[in-house]
């Protein structure tokens, strides 16, 4: 029997974010966020879905924590909706909003589940967008105040803090590609937003360290391994560019205190480089306790033309577990062998509920199994990987795709809001129980064997 057993202190968790699951978008004094505004404008979201109700987690959090307990989940990564706490982004805190997170955290602790808090998972207060959002340096102070308030209130109960979730998506999709709110197509503002996000991260880490708080602090980046489509020089260069744009633009300043040169030169030539003030890069480089990695797939890059940096490629997305291994090894090699948590990994499928209320999501089980094995190999080869958070606990509002993409290990019937455990939920519970994967008990194999037996039985009946 092959065993993929993880270190004793390895942590198995699940992840969600506030806007994607909470609903109650305007209840108990919550202010409007950029996502509230964006989804209410027709045509922005598939099917014109909104997160107004989402999974109604705001009212059903106890049930969701019970599900986690049943699945023996050890840590829960969720985010705080900034506008529940400060409806306009700053000013007087909203007691009711704070109460919700305190109740949730107490409920988790009672169930022996460690709270992992993301401070910013994309839902900026609309009032702050009106002064330019992340492209305006002024909002960094507001983010610091929000973080300080949360640190003070939740101080000793939070196991890990994550300043930002995927700052590259916030900056690029929000300010350059026009896909997410504020839906701008302004590369200069995008690069400024990226810089300000990183700077706000550094400031909050400094604050955390100055306050001498318990717990750990880090950031979650969406990283992928980039491979050239063909072994041509042109494609190799395109891959290098994509790597600077997607990965290194965030990793290098965080760990090395500079921006990668090829992209920086390109931006400068076009006059769209960010304004960097004295001391900014020092602040961004403030040491963190861990790096969070969100990994879904690889990018395959093919040169198109070299007129712009970003459009110099074609990207292909496919399941590619080996990419997770390659990425982890690369981070170990290039970035100080920092402790790592995989803070998101998962797959969306067109899950179907059977008549007897089951979801046989074999493809998800396969995906998880293959990636978890690669994570194990990375640890074997010296990576300081400390935990794994599956995206996601439940099906939820998948941003511009609305409810059309199901990522959960728990199925949600969006009409009744009933939760139903998928096969992958039991698979993951067994992974947690075994602290890894025991090859011969894998569901995939069990099912393959059942299939073989079925075929054999049919064959024999002839």
Catalytic residue IDs:
166, 344
Minimum CB separation of residue 231 from ligand FCB in Å reads: 30
Is the CB of 86 or the CB of 399 nearer to ligand FCB?
399
Is the CB of 20 or the CB of 94 nearer to ligand FCB?
20
**CB neighbours of 210 closer than 8 A, spacing ≥ 6?**
none
Minimum CB separation of residue 410 from ligand FCB in Å reads: 15
Cβ 443 vs Cβ 427: under 8 Å: yes
Minimum CB separation of residue 233 from ligand FCB in Å reads: 32
Minimum CB separation of residue 445 from ligand FCB in Å reads: 28
Is the CB of 126 or the CB of 222 nearer to ligand FCB?
222
> Can you give the binding site for ligand FCB, defined by CB under 6 A?
17, 20, 165-166, 169, 222, 294, 344, 391, 398-399, 407
Minimum CB separation of residue 392 from ligand FCB in Å reads: 7
Count other C-beta atoms under 10 Å from residue 348's C-beta: 17
Is the CB of 196 or the CB of 222 nearer to ligand FCB?
222
Is the CB of 231 or the CB of 318 nearer to ligand FCB?
318
Please give, one letter per residue, the 3-state secondary structure of the chain: CCEEECCCCCEEEEECCHHHHCCCCCCCCCCCEHHHHHHCCCCCCHHHCCCCCCCCHHHHHHHHHHHHHHCCCCEEEEECCHHHHCCCCCCCCCHHHHHHHHHHHHHHHHCCCEEEEEEECCCCEHHHHCCCHHHCCCHHHHHHHHHHHHHHHHHHHCCEEEEEECHHHHHHHHHHCCCCCCCCCCHHHHHHHHHHHHHHHHHHHHHHHHCCCCCEEEEEEECCCEEECCCCHHHHHHHHHHHHHHHHHHHHHHHHCCCCHHHHHHHHHCCCCCCCCCCHHHHHCCCCCEEEEECCCCEEEECCCCCCCCCCCECCCCCCHHHHHHHHHHHHHHCCCCCEEEEECCCCECCCCCCCCCCCCHHHHHHHHHHHHHHHHHHHCCCCEEEEEEECCECCCCHHHHHHCECCCEEEECCCCEEEECHHHHHHHHHHHHCEEEHHHCHHHHHHHHHHHHHHHHHHHC
Is the CB of 208 or the CB of 407 nearer to ligand FCB?
407
Is the CB of 165 or the CB of 283 nearer to ligand FCB?
165
Minimum CB separation of residue 449 from ligand FCB in Å reads: 32
Minimum CB separation of residue 193 from ligand FCB in Å reads: 17
């Amino acid at each position: 029997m092959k065993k993929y057993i993880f270190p004793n202190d390895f942590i198995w968790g699940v992840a969600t974010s506030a806007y994607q699951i909470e609903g109650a978008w305007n209840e108990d004094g919550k202010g409007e966020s950029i996502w509230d505004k964006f989804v209410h404008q027709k045509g922005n979201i598939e099917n014109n879905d909104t997160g107004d109700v989402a999974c109604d987690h705001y009212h059903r959090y106890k049930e969701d924590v019970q599900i986690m307990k049943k699945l023996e989940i050890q840590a829960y990564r969720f985010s705080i909706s900034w506008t529940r706490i400060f409806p306009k982004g700053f000013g007087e805190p909203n007691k009711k909003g704070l109460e919700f997170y305190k109740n949730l955290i107490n409920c988790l602790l009672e169930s022996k589940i460690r709270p992992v808090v993301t401070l910013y998972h994309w839902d900026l207060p609309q009032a702050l967008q009106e002064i330019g959002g992340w492209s305006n340096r002024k909002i960094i102070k507001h983010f610091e105040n929000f973080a300080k308030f949360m640190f003070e209130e939740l101080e000793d109960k939070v196991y890990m803090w994550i300043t930002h979730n995927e700052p590259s998506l916030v900056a690029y999709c929000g300010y350059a590609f026009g896909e997410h709110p504020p839906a701008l197509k302004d590369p200069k503002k995008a690069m400024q937003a990226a810089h300000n996000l990183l700077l706000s991260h550094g400031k909050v880490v400094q604050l955390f360290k100055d306050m001498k708080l318990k717990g750990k602090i880090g950031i979650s980046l969406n990283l992928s391994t980039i491979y050239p489509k063909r072994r041509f020089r042109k494609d190799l260069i395109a891959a290098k560019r994509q790597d600077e744009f997607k990965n290194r633009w965030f990793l290098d300043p965080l760990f090395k205190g500079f921006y990668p040169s090829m992209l920086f030169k390109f931006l400068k030539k076009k006059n769209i480089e960010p304004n960097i003030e004295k001391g900014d890069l020092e602040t961004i480089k403030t040491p963190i306790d861990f790096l969070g990695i969100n990994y879904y797939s690889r990018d395959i890059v093919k040169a198109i033309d070299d007129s712009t940096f970003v459009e110099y490629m074609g990207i292909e997305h496919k399941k590619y577990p080996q990419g997770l291994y390659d990425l982890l090894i690369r981070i170990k090699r290039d970035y100080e062998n920092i402790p790592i948590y995989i803070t998101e990994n998962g797959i969306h499928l067109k899950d179907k509920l059977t008549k007897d209320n089951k979801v046989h999501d074999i493809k998800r089980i396969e995906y998880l199994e293959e990636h978890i094995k690669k994570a194990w190999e990375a640890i074997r080869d010296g990576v300081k990987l400390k935990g794994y958070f599956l995206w996601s606990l439940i099906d939820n509002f998948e941003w511009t795709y609305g409810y059309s993409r199901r990522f959960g290990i728990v199925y949600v019937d969006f009409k009744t809001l009933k939760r139903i455990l998928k096969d992958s939920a039991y698979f993951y519970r067994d992974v947690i129980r075994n602290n890894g994967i025991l090859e011969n008990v894998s569901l995939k194999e069990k099912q393959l064997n059942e299939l073989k037996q079925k075929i054999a039985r049919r064959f024999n009946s002839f």
